[in-house]
Amino acid sequence: MQRILYLGMGWTCVALGFVGVWVPLLPTTIFLIIAAWAFARSSPELRQWLLTHPRFGRSLSNWYDHGMISPRAKASAVTLMAVSYTILWLTSEIGMIGLAAVGLTLGACAAFVLTRPQPEPGSAVSGEDADGGL
């Protein structure tokens, strides 16, 4: 039963990740990281499929093996956080405490992303050429 739940979670996250390729504000990589985690608990073959995927595999492997995020992915993540916060600030009525809480949370997330190591350009673990730095 637990295996089925992990498989379901994995496939749901794969679907959301692939939709995120075409939907600008839906993240791709985090859903694929969660899918790989779920597949590790239910189907090693599916996890390996994700880690060797021609487009997403290198970024996922960089994260799992080295905790690395490519410079392009860092820039995309932080930019989208800033754009999302700006939209929230301009359109929401949650008040200053809510805006401050969201701002602090996004700031902490951005700091985490920016402080992760990144692959050296041209190295064997660099993901810039194969996956667009996702």
Query: Nearest CA to 43 among 17, 12, 13, 10?
Result: 10
pLDDT of residue 6: 95
Q: Residue with structure tokens 């359109």?
A: 91
Q: Per-domain residue ranges for the chain?
A: 2-51, 68-134
Question: In this structure, what token pair is assigned to residue 111?
Answer: 């700091």
pLDDT of residue 123: 63
DSSP calls for the chain? -HHHHHHHHHHHHHHHHHHHHHSTTS-SHHHHHHHHHHHHTT-HHHHHHHHT-TTTHHHHHHHHHH----HHHHHHHHHHHHHHHHHHHHH--SHHHHHHHHHHHHHHHHHHHHHS--PPTTSTT--HHHHTT-
Note the pLDDT tens digit of each residue in 15-63.
Answer: 998 898 888 767 788 889 899 999 999 999 999 999 999 988 888 888 8
Is pLDDT at 125 greater than 70 in this prediction? no
Q: Where does the pLDDT of residue 101 fall: very low under 50, low under 70, confident under 90, or very high at 90 and above?
A: very high
pLDDT of residue 128: 46
Note the pLDDT tens digit of each residue in 56-90.
Answer: 888 888 888 888 988 988 998 899 889 989 999 99
Kindly report the pTM of this predicted structure: 0.71
Nearest-Å Rg of the Cα atoms of the chain is 16
